[in-house]
Structure 1
Amino acid sequence: MTPIIAFTLIMLIWTVSDYISKKTKALLSSLFVASIIFLIGFKTNLFPEDLLPTSALLPLGQTVVGMIIVHLGTLISLDEFKRQWRTFLIGVSAVLGIAIMLFTVGRLLLDTNYVLSAIAAISGGTISVIIVQEQALNAGLISVAVFPVLIAALQGLIGFPLTSIILRKEAMRIRDGVRDGSITRKAAVEEEQTDAKETILPEAFQTTAGTLFVVGLVVILAMFLSGLTNGWLNTFVIALLLGIALRATGVLKPNVLNGIDAYGLMMLAILLIIFGPLATTSFADLVELLVPLLIAFSLGVIGIVLFAMLAGKLLGYTYPMAVAIGLSSLYGFPGTLILSEEAAKNIGETEDEIQIIEDEILPKMVVAGFSTVTITSVFLTGILASFIY
């Protein structure tokens, strides 16, 4: 297969996956649909084993993954986290709940390597999967590398309906509070004051090439700092911290890669990384992973619920809101946005009710996604991945 045919076929797969995801309102995520297509294609020999590397997208993804992590850091507003500090703590508690349940009960039922990869995948997104997958492949553990891919593909099917049900309960509570007068519309929080110039960098470094150059330097710095710690601090964790710090100091603008010509292609390229092991995994290996998948999801969700409820009780959140915050680790943004808006529109019966419900739920859920998937999971995975061998 020639590179252009491989590239075009992959673009078709993503087009179909995105279409189905939109039609099902993200119940079937594009990641899930793409996983199924790649899996069927590889197992039926419809796709050649070297489809991904032949397309040239796989090496691109491996090159730019650190840059995407710096970008994720620039999505994080420290001011918003200050306002939602309780939400952040509940999100962190939920991720710790996943880790504790799987590390205690899970290790009695599963191999430690599966436990470590499950913690990363259930609590995080693509970046966490890539971190543990890279370590597993370096250790020659193909099935361990595939395990988090399957979790990542399926977790939306569990997280979306569960969160939807729970957020409806919270939305009903808020609506009833609006009607009895105990809950009123809050004054809108003023947007962060930013200068017209969002970055202190010269205009020459705000072009597509200039932005990629600067972000590339940040990744190189992260690699250097990781080397100083002999790898104890993962490069990706440092890259995330640098992204947060450089946004806060005005060196990098918020959402630094948004709007540049290469961003969409870069995102597609890093997503392809996680499908690589599917090409070389046997069908029998996949069947053997079904029971570990069930155990990992069961323990992970139990850990989320228990620890989120406990943290919510201590911090003054209702049980439904706390659990919904914890469950955001199963999908992150934009699922947190979509589910919050749907709950408000489905439960609120007037424009005022809808707006108040959304104002109460949406900021918490958006911060929840960042606290679980983007921050805590990347930190935790960066530490745990080194124990896969």
Structure 2
Amino acid sequence: MQPIYLALLFIAIIAIGEVISIKSRARIPTLLVVVATVFVLLQTGILPEEYIAASTFVAVGGVLVPVLIVHLGTMIPLKTMFKQYQAVLITLIGLAFSVIGVIVIVTLLFDYATAVAGAGPITGGIIAYIVTADGLREAGLTAIIAIPITVFTIQNFFGMPLTSIFLARYAKKIRADETAADAAQGLAPDSTEKEKSYVLPKEWMQSHFVIIFLLFAGGALAVFLGQFTGINASLWALAIGVAAAALRFLPERSMEKANSSGITMIALIFVVINSLIGVTWDQIVASLLPVMVIMIVGIAGLMLGAIIGAKLFKWDTNKSIPVVLTALYGFPGDYLIVEEISRSEGRTEAERQRIMDELMAPMLIGGFTSVTVGSVAIASILISTL
């Protein structure tokens, strides 16, 4: 089948998910619909696994991941980044409660190896899953490799709806803040942006191609630094984006300025879809009982930690819980859900922008803290104890 036909098929699924998200006011996230639909199609044989790679979007999405993270860095002003230390600490508290709960309770009900198999993936994404699965193979525990696979596959189905519920509640509170609404309407961000000067000539920064080149240059630099230092490239990409915007090498919201955000997000969704390859019904059924215990205990620990963190830092729990729950899906799910919530809950463009500005930074920081850093460290430490 021609790649254009395959791309059309998957984009149709994404569009259907978007329509469902709009109709449900983001209670059912687009990414959840896409993941569930593609998983069912793969398991029933309607959709051959090779079709995903044949669409060519997976390769494009893989290239664009560091580029988009650089863009996300330009979306968060440096002053905002300094203020997000609370999001980092609250997320770490949630991770600690989740891991301790899983290790203690799952070990008592099953065994320690089963607890380790689930503790890493429940606090993060694909990297934590890979570390855990490889460690189990090296330890000769191949019989329970289905546990991290299943946890990694189904945690989205729990994390994203819960996040949408709490974020929607918090968005309504932002929307009801009339003082903030009046202030936001008087900011005139476009004119403020125009008054700022760039390092490169202003005429160059009006070119979409120059901005895209700079984003790719930042992404390439992040990958190089990741390989050279051993620090995850995503962290470098985020730091490069923040620094480039602060130093005026890039405009704020760079990809939007280059009119390139839509097709980029589609390509990234293909990366998520590709992670479903290799997961079977039999694996899920065989590990269902321990996985469900791990999910319940792990998510309860995340939420308990978020509530305690909210008390310590005087946050609204409707904000702290979603920030910690980013551990269940990470990037780009955190970005997509905030975008959906701002679109569905904001009645005006000013309200939508205020919701985005309030939620995007802590959600992204929470996701990077858990999925990119915390979960990898947790999985690596726990696997070494087997």
State the TM bucket, normalised to the shorter chain: 0.7 to 0.9
Give yes or no for contact 1:198–1:253 (8 Å, CA) kept in 2: no
> Match of 1:278, SS?
coil
Task: Report the CA distance between 1:119 and its aligned residue.
Answer: 0.5
Q: CA RMSD in A?
A: 4.1
1:154 to 153, 158, 162: 158
Which of residues 379, 383, 387 in structure 1 aligns to 2:373? 379
1:3–1:332 Cα change, 3 Å: closer
Q: 1:322 to 1:250 in 2, by over 3 A?
A: same
Cα gap change, 1:321/1:380 in structure 2, threshold over 3 Å: closer, same or farther?
closer
Question: Amino acid of the residue matched to residue 294 of structure 1?
Answer: M
Structure 1 counterpart of 2:285, one-letter code: V
What is the aligned-residue identity percentage? 20
Task: Look up the match of 2:4.
Answer: 4
Query: Offset of 1:59 from its aligned partner?
Result: 0.8
- Structure 2: state its 5+ residue gaps: 138-144
148-157 vs 246-255, which deviates more?
Answer: 148-157
One-letter identity of the residue aligned with 1:196: E
Equivalent pair of 1:218/1:239 in contact (CA under 8 Å): yes
Counterpart residue identity of residue 367, structure 2: V
Deviation at 1:226? 2.2
The Cα shift of 1:104 comes to: 5.6
Q: 1:276 to 1:137 in 2, by over 3 A?
A: farther
**Structure 2 partner of 1:201:** 200
Q: Distance in 2 between matches of 1:28 and 1:100?
A: 30
Which structure 2 residues correspond to residues 1-389 of structure 1 after superposition, within 5 A?
Answer: 1-82=1-82, 86=86, 89-91=89-91, 93-102=93-102, 105=105, 110-120=114-124, 129-132=125-128, 144=148, 147-161=151-165, 167=170, 185=179, 188=183, 191=187, 194-197=193-196, 199-202=198-201, 203-204=203-204, 206-229=206-229, 231=230, 233-317=231-315, 322-323=320-321, 326=324, 332-333=334-335, 335=337, 365-374=359-368, 377-381=371-375, 383-384=377-378
Deviations 1:303-332 (A, max 9, x none): 333333333333344666655665576664
Instruction: Letter of the 1:378 partner, please give it.
Output: T
- How far apart are residue 213 of structure 1 and its match? 1.9
Secondary structure of 1:257's counterpart equals helix
Match of 1:26, SS state, is: coil
Q: Structure 1 residue 228: deviation in Å?
A: 2.7
With normalisation by structure 1, the TM-score equals 0.74
Distance between the aligned counterparts of 1:216 and 1:362, measured in 2?
24
Distance 1:162 1:106 in 2: 27
- CA displacement, residues 90-119 of structure 1 (integer Å, 9 cap, x when unaligned): 455445544554466566663534321220
Task: Report deviation, 1:247.
Answer: 1.4
Hey, what's the Cα distance between the residues in 2 that align with 1:58 and 1:107? 38
So what's the TM-score if we normalise by structure 2? 0.74
Amino acid in the other structure paired with 1:45: G
More divergent stretch after superposition (110-119 vs 236-245): 110-119
Residue 301 of structure 1 deviates from its aligned partner by 3.3
Distance 1:219 1:362 in 2: 24
Shift of 1:61: 0.9
Aligned residues: 358
Q: Look up the SS of the partner of 1:280 in the other structure.
A: coil
Give 1:295 shift. Answer: 3.1
Structure 1 residue matching 2:28: 3-state secondary structure = coil
Deviation for aligned residue 1:383: 4.3
* Contact kept in structure 2, 1:163 and 1:327, CA below 8 Å: no
After TM superposition, give the deviation of residue 18 of structure 1 in Å. 0.9
Instruction: State how far apart, in whole Å, the 1-side matches of 2:297 and 2:195 are.
Output: 48
Question: Structure 1 residue 340: deviation in Å?
Answer: 8.4
- Greater CA deviation, 211-220 or 378-387? 378-387
The one-letter amino acid of 1:315's match is: F
Mark the CA change 1:60 to 1:96 in structure 2 (over 3 Å): closer, same or farther: same
Alpha carbons of 1:264 and 1:293: their partners in 2 closer, same or farther (altered >3 Å)?
Answer: farther
Q: Report SS of the residue matched to 2:248.
A: coil
**1:259 and 1:251, CA in 2 relative to 1: closer, same or farther beyond 3 A?**
closer
